[in-house]
Structure 1
Amino acid sequence: MSSIVKKYLDDVKKRNPGEVEFHQAVEEVLESIAPVLEKNPQYVEAGIVERLLEPERQIMFRVPWVDDKGVVQVNRGFRVQFNSAIGPYKGGLRFHPSVYLGIIKFLGFEQIFKNSLTTLPIGGGKGGSDFDPKGKSDAEVMRFCQSFMTELCKYIGADTDVPAGDIGVGGREIGFMYGQYRKIRNEFVGVLTGKGIGWGGSLARTEATGYGLIYFTREMLKANGKSFDGQRVVISGSGNVAIYACQKAQSYGAKVVVVSDSNGYVIDEDGIDVATVKEIKEVQRARISEYVKARPNATYVAGGSVWDVKCDIALPCSTQNDINEESAKKLVANGCYAVGEGANMPCTNEAVKYFLSKGILVGPAKAANAGGVATSALEMSQNSQRLEWTFEEVDAKLDSIMTSIFKACDESSKEFGMTGNYVAGANIAGFQKVAKAMLAQGII
């Protein structure tokens, strides 16, 4: 680690104690961009990194709501508006018990570079709450979302900050929040993305993150003389990203044999049946263990790690730090040669370093899972123009964007002597676009 990177990282840890996920995200980016800083001293002189590491605005607020028993509950809401140098803040809202300021800051920091890579004019932000929608009635979720938006609406807008969904925030939650925003502000504008079709939503948005992951990974494989065809794939997660990554990978001839949730995973040697997973997760809102009732030849494993299952390609699509160094070693030992990150920061820094040391292809999250936010930005464009594009039009634009993102990662890795290191390439390409904009706009 260079002395300048160590200085920045030490300062971050001192100013943001206990926010380990944020520290991890910062360390990964700083190590990648060290050669850029050495080559471009003007970035150091202008304090670009110090300003990037400090959010432009951090908002934390109380969210009171009443449950179905008439008992008052209080949760905590967050919105971190990290950087708007290239466009309005853009990033999802996560509703999960694990949410605290450090999680939101790590996600918002990653979003800066992810959004920069999309080639679209959007800045980085993130938000959410420690509210858990699991096990709540629709009425309870509605009351929470309305209370949450009553406060959040003061800080967002179609040209200021445009939130979307994330873990725990799907179409139901977006609908309730958008309704409350519209009631309070009396505006029908594109202030949230992930809206329903017929009231401002975009076709292909639901599929976008999973499809985008496969488009990026396809390009990464192609550049290295490989493809999905005939390859054995393991996916962690069984939510939106995992479902559509599975669907699209299968369309390219891959054999996806595993999906999971927080309780365990299923192995289906005949290939995961996407329709069954969608029924369980999107309709029944049940556990993945139900899969074996519909597919009796499949096996359910309670607990354990999906990364113990032999595969050619691994697609972590559940949550952060899903793959640690031990899991990385197991994957490599079992013949895995490529990893595409569908979740945000699903591999620890140690795991990524191990993969790269063994020549494993790694598609980093800020590039590989950028399809969701890219299509959210396409939804913003449609809202601004009062248009609705066809599924095929949006999907074609998504494919083109993901191909461009891979090209930017590849070219940046080569420019700085790290050919094939797409992790560094993504960080460098994303950083340089934002840094140039910040430099041009002065010390603000």
Structure 2
Amino acid sequence: MSYVDEVYERVVKQNPGEAEFHQAVKEVLDSLRLVIDANEEKYRKMALLERLVEPERVISFRIPWVDDNGQVQVNKGYRVQFNSAIGPYKGGLRLHPSVNQGILKFLGFEQVFKNSLTGLPIGGGKGGSNFDPKGKSDREVMAFCQSFMTELYKYIGADQDVPAGDIGVGAREIGYMYGQYKRLTGLYEGVLTGKGLTYGGSLARTQATGYGLVYIVDEMLKHNGNELAGKTVVVSGSGNVAIYATEKAQQLGARVVALSDSNGYIYDKDGIKLDIVKDIKEVRRGRIKEYVDAVPTAVYTEGKGIWSIPCDIALPCATQNELNLDDAKALKANGCFAVAEGANMPSTREATDFFQENGMMFMPGKAANAGGVATSALEMSQNSLRLSWSFEEVDEKLHGIMVGIYAKAADAAERYGVKGNYVAGANIAGFEKVVEAMMAQGVV
């Protein structure tokens, strides 16, 4: 049995019931076989893969808080500090009922490679809770966030672990958490990113993941003799990533015709009116179906099926495993030739294999959605320097980072004889940097 297969079997055996984590590890290790087989003796002696797939630390805790009726509620909280070989742990906090240890381990593992690809000195981590902020009052959200941080603050710091936002954690939640951290420690430091602009946040952070996704798609198309202008694009989701991917795609001349949420999707053949979507989602916190009230020519469809809409480019920006093999086949049949992931692992393994086997350009999430964490790291830099850069400065740095990520993924794929395979390229490029740091630091 190969070293890769041994380690994967070990992961499944030692982490039962954590399907998303198993999926992420298998996808990465399979695409790294070329590198690992060439260095098997050295890596095996150092138990390098065993250390790579095991988090350095998993913190689990209870979060008691009081709701508006005076009832005490209890949620579970986690922080998975996966790998700090190239810098302090960095990765979002997710508040959603689906959050569990396995999902956070998958996200933390992916984050290690994603952060490595940015070229910035940040390690990988992820955290969150099964608390659902939807339908909660501001006071309830504050009570939860303060209780959450009362435990988490012991394990984080500007040079130790710098969490950010993720699903369910926006400016409001980060503000409450930062206030509690400051109250508990007496420190005014860049310990959280995604902060408000008045207290250390960075311009362009809100737009960063969506913008970065489109920047790397644009770069991928250019290097394959194509361009974004004039193309029809379908985007799943209607949160932060989807909204700003839509905005940047429109700015670069593409026509985005569909968005979705967990209830259903809208199709607007004339192109999404983003001002209406922003009002629904960012101002009123409503549902995407409300779009048709303002745009009667648009169509709302309940349930799944967004990938049945004909398009040139598909950008899944909602959640993990939202795009399956049947969806991939439908996209191909309807003329789609490029897919890039704005969410973390939104395509199933069968779907990603189909894209690659059928000559479709495919950019995986660890490369395509790295713009958010890259700009978070830029926020850390600004905090450390006690400076604030302009929107244009941050956006320019973000664009440069995404162009660099494309170049690293394309170069690594070509070096190992799999030109155009950006999954392998991104994994190899991220892996090489982390492994070099791990080897240099000894057995830790």
Q: Report TM bin, short chain.
A: over 0.9
Displaced runs of 4 or more, over 6 A: none
Letter in 2 for 1:386: R
Matches within 5 A, 1:69-80: 69-80=69-80
CA deviation profile, 1:323-372 (whole Å, cap 9, x unmatched): 11111111111111000100000001111001100011011100000000
Distance across 2 between alignment mates of 1:82 and 1:432: 17
Distance across 1 between alignment mates of 2:26 and 2:276: 40
Partner in structure 1 of residue 22 of structure 2: 23
The answer as to whether partners of 1:408 and 1:426 remain within 8 angstroms in 2 is yes
Distance across 2 between alignment mates of 1:28 and 1:223: 25
Distance across 2 between alignment mates of 1:304 and 1:115: 31
| TM-score (norm. length: structure 2) | 0.99
Q: How many Å apart are 1:241 and its aligned residue?
A: 0.2
Partner in structure 1 of residue 254 of structure 2: 254
The answer as to whether partners of 1:32 and 1:424 remain within 8 angstroms in 2 is yes
Distance across 2 between alignment mates of 1:290 and 1:37: 50
The answer as to whether partners of 2:410 and 2:420 remain within 8 angstroms in 1 is yes
Partner in structure 1 of residue 302 of structure 2: 302
CA deviation profile, 1:72-122 (whole Å, cap 9, x unmatched): 100000000000000000000000000000000000000000000000000
Partner in structure 2 of residue 347 of structure 1: 347
Partner in structure 1 of residue 311 of structure 2: 311
The answer as to whether partners of 2:114 and 2:366 remain within 8 angstroms in 1 is yes
Distance across 2 between alignment mates of 1:17 and 1:274: 43
The answer as to whether partners of 1:43 and 1:435 remain within 8 angstroms in 2 is no
Distance across 2 between alignment mates of 1:201 and 1:48: 37
The answer as to whether partners of 1:97 and 1:131 remain within 8 angstroms in 2 is yes
The answer as to whether partners of 2:3 and 2:44 remain within 8 angstroms in 1 is no
Q: How many residues align?
A: 443
Partner in structure 1 of residue 5 of structure 2: 6
Distance across 2 between alignment mates of 1:234 and 1:158: 38
Q: How many Å apart are 1:227 and its aligned residue?
A: 1.1
Letter in 1 for 2:19: V
Q: How many Å apart are 1:158 and its aligned residue?
A: 0.3
Q: How many Å apart are 1:295 and its aligned residue?
A: 1.1
Distance across 1 between alignment mates of 2:4 and 2:258: 39
Q: Percent identity?
A: 66
CA deviation profile, 1:42-93 (whole Å, cap 9, x unmatched): 2232111110111000000000001101111000000000000000000000
Q: How many Å apart are 1:304 and its aligned residue?
A: 2.6
Letter in 1 for 2:255: K
Distance across 2 between alignment mates of 1:162 and 1:409: 26
Distance across 2 between alignment mates of 1:310 and 1:374: 32
The answer to whether residue 315 in structure 2 is matched with residue 320 in structure 1 is no
Distance across 1 between alignment mates of 2:33 and 2:281: 43
CA deviation profile, 1:398-429 (whole Å, cap 9, x unmatched): 00000000000000000011000001100000
Partner in structure 2 of residue 429 of structure 1: 429
Structure 2 residue runs without a partner (length 5+): none
The answer as to whether partners of 1:319 and 1:343 remain within 8 angstroms in 2 is yes
Q: How many Å apart are 1:268 and its aligned residue?
A: 0.7
CA deviation profile, 1:121-140 (whole Å, cap 9, x unmatched): 00000000000000101110
Partner in structure 2 of residue 102 of structure 1: 102
CA deviation profile, 1:189-220 (whole Å, cap 9, x unmatched): 00000000021000000000000000011111
CA deviation profile, 1:304-337 (whole Å, cap 9, x unmatched): 3100111110000000001111111111111110
Distance across 2 between alignment mates of 1:130 and 1:11: 27
Partner in structure 1 of residue 272 of structure 2: 272
Partner in structure 1 of residue 332 of structure 2: 332
Partner in structure 2 of residue 137 of structure 1: 137
The answer as to whether partners of 2:55 and 2:82 remain within 8 angstroms in 1 is yes
Q: How many Å apart are 1:382 and its aligned residue?
A: 0.2
The answer as to whether partners of 1:116 and 1:430 remain within 8 angstroms in 2 is yes
Partner in structure 2 of residue 218 of structure 1: 218
Distance across 2 between alignment mates of 1:142 and 1:363: 37
| TM-score (norm. length: structure 1) | 0.99
SS in 2 for 1:206: coil
CA deviation profile, 1:231-285 (whole Å, cap 9, x unmatched): 1100000000000000000111110000000000000111101111111011100
The answer as to whether partners of 2:4 and 2:36 remain within 8 angstroms in 1 is no
The answer as to whether partners of 1:43 and 1:439 remain within 8 angstroms in 2 is no
SS in 2 for 1:345: coil
Structure 1 residue runs without a partner (length 5+): none
Matches within 5 A, 1:75-90: 75-90=75-90
Q: How many Å apart are 1:40 and its aligned residue?
A: 2.1
Distance across 1 between alignment mates of 2:304 and 2:395: 36
Distance across 2 between alignment mates of 1:322 and 1:407: 28
